[in-house]
Structures are given as structure tokens and as C-alpha cells.
């Protein structure tokens, strides 16, 4: 079972002194099992956003150590900055990353809050999903009045902290600890220095909107005497405007609280529209902290769709389109390996040796070496990936063919399907070798006692079954990919019909090769029902592959 991972994104009220920031982040790096992914200081905001990931217990320990160090080094009574804040460690949210639920993350956040209040002896509030009362779900409500208003608020019973003493600590202020979904901190750059204009645009787009005013400029009230609000255009978005002296521009600073509701590219385009309506131009944008890969890929697809171009291209190309279209390099170079969470995490983890990272020559030579793996199963998966990749190529060429403009979306959809197939099959190249290695590991288990023999036999059976299931999956996914190959042979760019034919040949060979691997592994299984089921499905797929290849090649030959 995979180890649960959570992300912690503490915001420290210091963005100008690198020595202070380094001392805080060293506390995080000193905790074994934690990966420090990003440190993003801002001079104008006088705030640093830190991102680290790891299993729950090490992450909680690192958060406590960092907050303790921040309490020692940061004096809030001297703090000035553009960003709302009320503490040295201002906020400390936890985000579920993998193999952990939001409910489990909430429990961890409350444990963290209790520990911070007890060990640091400062007020701690819980917000977002970790809030202990509905009124404190919104961070803006928790932090209302900021540091300057904290002393008075702590004197009122209704504002007592959830953990720690209800006393004002001038040096450290308070901490807000939360559990939330992935939040994207996203700033849109403007060609103005006017904070007023930036705020107006922020009020246009943020969900909360702005207070309604009458013709005389007085705030309108409802029957209960509360201000009437005119909502903005973007759901699940918070925002303010500010001026960043460091870059000499004003920004619309947004928190995208749910990118499935309002993705980054939608927020950007809406800011472009709202800015233009006020005579202001958007020049680019910046990400504070890290962003999920899917947000960048979705943005790339969105902008390619606007250009009526195929989206079935490599992830690197989608990211490049997103960076250019969003102007993420406007203020400083955008580095995907540092700003995309999956890439940043992969860079921190120990590098596993993977076949798919080899050159073509390296893969061929590794296959030819004396070791039994990679063998026929990995080569079959590679053939399946190549067949699907050729179909994807034909779809991309067809989408961009002169005179076929009206059909670009049709071929883009085929390219997306082909890309998904070749990505799955590429992963199965290494998975087949891993399955073989699992069998070898089971064979090496001790067999000195009856109990050890029984455990070894059970492990051998489980590993052997998996070694049969992996090539069966290669067969399943390759057969499915032949639908894309057939469509491209029939309807794709006629100049590339031979490529579709080679794709069909690759697919058939991949399936028949994987079939051999299913059968040889079935020979080691002792359960006749399992063997019969595996063989029956594999036999049926092999027969279908031969027939589909014949039909595709008939189309190809007719067009040559």
C-alpha cells in the first residue's frame, strides 16, 4: 500500500531577509522524510510561501519546528507588508496529496493546531475544512482586523482562539491552521501602477464582489442593516489589488480555491476582459508557490482549443503553450521542474532506473544484454506504445491539414485518445520488468521451515499471476488503441496512411507478443479457474487483433 502524503504550505511574515527565511526552512529540511519543494519570498508583501510534502507525522513535526523558529526570529510589532496577516507564521494549511482523505487531513490539522498552541503558547485558529465552527471556515473572517486588531479581538469571548491562550503575544501574533483542497495563489500583472484600478478589477472578478452603492456613493443596506453585495464573475475565487514595488506594477492577486470550479486559465481570461473594460491591459501573470500539473495541462489545452489546434501533443508542449499564453514568464523565468508540484516532488525523490528514460539505442542494448529483463513483455509494450503514437501523429497532422479546418476538433479528439493509449503503454514497459522482478524476489524468499515454504509459495503465486496480468493489460490497451489506428487509416491525412499501416503492424505484434507472455506465466499458476480465465481473454484479444490488423491494412493498401 502506498504511503499517505500531505502537503504543508506555511506562510511566514518575512520576505525581505534571506537569512531569516533560510533559518526557518533549515528546520523543515532537518526532518527526515520531508521534501522541501518551494520557497517563494515576496519583498512587497514581506511574506514567504513555503511548500513541503511528506508523510503526515514528519510533516507535522516540520511544521512545528518551522513555526517555533519563526516565533524566535520574526517580530510582528515591526512588520509591514502588502498582504493581509496576523502572525509570524500567518497561516499553515495542510493539503491531501495522495492516499489520504480530507477527513484524515482535518484530524491532522487539528492535532497540529493543538500542538502549536500548547508548545508555542500563542493563539491558534482553525479554518477551512478544519474549522471547529462554521463562522471560522473563511480565512478572511478569522484574520479580520489583521495583526493590528488582534489585541482587541482576543479580548472578546466570541473571538477566543481554538487552541492556545486567549492572550495577545505582540511578537508572534496568531496562527491560522487549516485543511483545504489545493489552492492556487495566482497574480495577474497589469500595465498600471494604480492599486485602485487593480482593486476594482479584483472586485469585478472575485466571488464576493463589491459593496453596492447608491448614486451618492453611500453603501446600500438590506432590511437587516447589512451591506448589499454585488457578486463578482468567478466562483471559488478570492482577490484583492495591490502594487508590487519590486516589479513596478500593480497586480490582481487571486486565490483560486477550487480549480475544478474556476481554473487558472479561466481566471486569467476573465481578468483580461475586466481589465480591458477599465482601460487597463494584462501583461502576464505569476504563480506563488506550486501548481498541480493538471492545471497547467488544462490551460495548455484551453489555449490550443482557442487556436483550433490539436491538443493531443506531449505534456511538455502543453506546458509551453500554457506558460506563453498566461505570460508566466512576464516577471521572471517560469521553471516547470520547480513550480509544478509533481515535477518538484519527483526531483526530490530518489531516481529509480527506468527503461523509458533510456535512449532508443540504450533500450535496444539493455534488451540485448545477458540479463533476462527487459524481455519480450517490455518489448511488446514498447511496440504497442509506438503503434498508438503513430496513430496520434496522423491525428495531429490531420487536425492541422490545410483545407480541413472544419474538422480540427474531430482529429484533436482522436489525438487525445491516442496520446492516452501511448502514455499507458509506455508505463507498462517498466511495469512488465517490475512484474518479472517481483517473481524473482518471491523465488528468493527463505524456505527453511514449513511456514516459510508456505509463505514463499503464496508469494510466488501472487507474483506469477501479476506477471501474467501485466501483459494481458498490454493486450487490452493495445487492442483499444487499434480503434484510433483504424480511424486514422480510414479518415486521416491520406499522405500519412502508411504510418497508420505501420501502427497496425506494431499493434498486432505487440498483442501477439504479450499473448506469449500471458501463456508462459500461466504455466506457473496452480489455480485452473484463474488460468482458464486469463487464457480465454488473451486468446480472444489475439484473434481480434489479427482481424483488425487485416481490415486496417486492406484500407491502407487501397489508398496506396
CA distance 54 to 3: 9
Q: Does residue 265 carry a catalytic annotation?
A: no
CA distance 77 to 336: 37
| Residue 195 and residue 218 in contact, taking contact as beta carbons nearer than 8 Å | no
CA distance 48 to 42: 6
Identified catalytic residue from 38, 40, 79, 83: 83
- Burial class (CB within 10 angstroms; exposed 0-12, middle 13-18, buried 19+) of 413: middle
For residue 279, CA distances in Å to 199, 205, 254, 269, 405 come to 14, 16, 20, 15, 34
| Residue 248 and residue 191 in contact, taking contact as beta carbons nearer than 8 Å | no
Give the position of cell 496529496. Answer: 97
| Residue 289 and residue 256 in contact, taking contact as beta carbons nearer than 8 Å | no
Torsion of CA 293, 295, 298, 303, to 10 degrees: -110
- Burial class (CB within 10 angstroms; exposed 0-12, middle 13-18, buried 19+) of 73: middle
| Residue 290 and residue 340 in contact, taking contact as beta carbons nearer than 8 Å | yes
Phi-psi region of 339 (alpha: psi -120 to 50; beta: other; left: phi over 0): alpha
Identified catalytic residue from 40, 162, 432, 499: 432
- Taking the CB of residue 103, how many other CB atoms lie within 10 A of it? 10
Per residue, what are the HEC states of 472-506? HHHHHHHHHHHHHHHHHHHHCCHHHHHHHHHHHHH
For residue 141, CA distances in Å to 10, 68, 167, 334 come to 19, 25, 19, 33
- For residue 157 the three cell numbers come to 469571548
Nearest residue to 500 via CA among 546, 541, 559, 545: 559
SS3 529: helix
| Residue 384 and residue 477 in contact, taking contact as beta carbons nearer than 8 Å | yes
- For residue 174 the three cell numbers come to 496568531
Q: Does residue 83 carry a catalytic annotation?
A: yes
Instruction: Spell out the residues 6+ positions from residue 178 whose beta carbon is closer than 8 angstroms to its own.
Output: 91, 92, 93, 94, 109, 126, 127, 128, 129, 130, 131, 139
Q: Which residues are catalytic?
A: 83, 432
Amino acid at each position: 500500500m502506498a504511503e499517505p502524503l500531505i502537503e504543508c504550505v506555511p506562510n511566514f511574515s518575512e520576505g525581505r531577509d534571506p537569512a531569516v527565511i533560510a533559518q526557518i526552512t533549515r528546520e523543515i529540511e532537518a526532518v527526515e522524510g520531508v521534501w522541501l519543494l518551494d520557497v517563494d519570498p515576496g519583498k512587497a508583501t514581506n511574506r514567504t510561501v513555503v511548500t513541503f510534502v511528506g508523510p503526515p507525522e514528519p510533516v507535522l513535526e516540520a511544521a512545528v519546528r518551522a513555526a517555533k523558529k519563526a516565533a524566535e526570529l520574526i517580530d510582528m510589532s515591526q512588520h509591514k507588508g502588502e498582504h493581509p496577516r496576523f502572525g509570524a507564521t500567518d497561516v499553515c494549511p495542510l493539503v491531501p496529496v495522495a492516499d489520504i482523505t480530507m477527513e484524515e487531513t482535518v484530524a491532522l490539522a487539528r492535532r497540529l493546531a493543538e500542538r502549536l498552541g500548547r508548545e508555542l503558547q500563542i493563539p491558534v485558529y482553525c479554518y477551512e475544512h478544519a474549522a471547529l465552527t462554521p463562522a471560522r471556515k473563511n480565512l478572511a473572517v478569522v484574520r479580520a482586523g489583521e495583526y493590528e486588531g488582534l489585541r482587541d479581538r482576543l479580548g472578546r469571548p466570541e473571538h477566543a482562539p481554538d487552541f492556545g491562550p486567549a492572550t495577545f503575544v505582540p511578537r508572534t501574533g496568531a496562527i491560522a491552521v487549516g485543511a483545504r483542497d489545493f489552492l492556487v495563489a495566482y497574480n495577474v500583472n497589469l500595465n498600471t501602477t494604480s492599486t485602485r484600478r487593480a482593486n476594482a478589477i479584483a472586485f469585478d472578478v472575485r466571488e464576493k464582489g463589491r459593496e453596492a452603492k447608491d448614486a451618492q456613493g453611500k453603501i446600500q443596506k438590506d432590511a437587516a442593516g447589512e451591506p448589499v453585495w454585488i457578486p463578482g464573475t468567478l466562483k471559488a475565487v478570492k482577490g484583492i489589488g495591490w502594487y508590487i514595488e519590486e516589479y513596478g506594477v500593480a497586480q490582481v492577486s487571486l486565490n483560486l480555491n477550487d480549480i475544478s470550479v474556476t481554473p487558472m486559465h479561466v481566471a486569467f481570461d476573465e481578468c483580461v476582459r475586466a481589465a480591458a473594460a477599465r482601460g487597463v491591459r494584462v501583461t502576464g501573470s505569476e504563480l506563488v508557490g506550486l501548481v498541480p500539473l493538471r492545471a497547467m495541462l488544462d490551460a495548455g489545452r484551453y489555449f490550443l482549443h482557442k487556436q483550433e489546434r490539436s491538443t493531443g501533443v506531449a505534456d511538455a508542449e502543453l506546458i509551453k503553450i500554457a506558460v506563453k499564453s498566461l505570460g508566466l514568464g512576464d516577471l521572471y523565468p517560469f521553471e516547470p521542474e520547480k513550480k509544478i508540484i509533481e515535477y518538484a516532488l519527483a526531483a526530490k525523490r530518489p531516481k529509480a532506473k527506468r527503461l523509458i528514460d533510456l535512449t532508443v539505442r540504450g533500450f535496444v542494448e539493455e534488451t540485448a544484454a545477458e540479463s533476462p529483463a527487459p524481455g519480450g513483455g517490455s518489448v511488446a509494450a514498447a511496440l504497442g506504445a509506438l503503434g498508438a503514437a503513430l496513430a496520434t501523429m496522423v491525428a495531429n497532422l490531420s487536425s492541422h491539414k490545410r483545407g480541413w479546418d472544419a474538422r480540427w476538433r474531430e482529429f484533436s479528439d482522436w489525438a487525445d485518445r491516442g496520446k492516452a493509449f501511448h502514455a499507458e503503454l509506455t508505463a507498462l514497459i517498466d511495469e512488465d520488468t517490475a512484474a518479472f522482478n517481483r517473481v524473482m524476489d518471491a523465488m528468493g524468499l527463505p524456505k527453511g521451515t514449513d511456514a516459510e515454504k508456505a509463505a514463499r509459495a503464496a508469494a510466488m503465486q501472487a507474483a506469477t499471476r501479476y506477471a501474467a496480468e501485466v501483459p494481458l493489460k498490454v493486450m487490452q490497451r493495445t487492442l483499444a488503441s487499434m480503434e484510433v489506428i483504424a480511424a486514422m487509416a480510414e479518415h486521416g491525412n491520406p499522405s500519412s496512411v502508411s504510418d497508420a499501416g505501420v501502427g497496425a503492424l506494431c499493434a498486432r505484434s505487440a498483442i501477439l507478443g504479450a499473448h506469449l507472455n500471458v501463456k508462459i506465466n500461466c504455466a506457473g499458476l496452480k489455480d485452473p479457474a484463474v488460468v482458464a480465465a486469463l487464457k480465454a481473454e488473451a486468446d480472444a484479444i489475439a484473434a481480434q487483433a489479427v482481424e483488425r490488423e487485416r481490415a486496417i491494412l486492406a484500407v491502407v493498401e487501397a489508398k496506396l
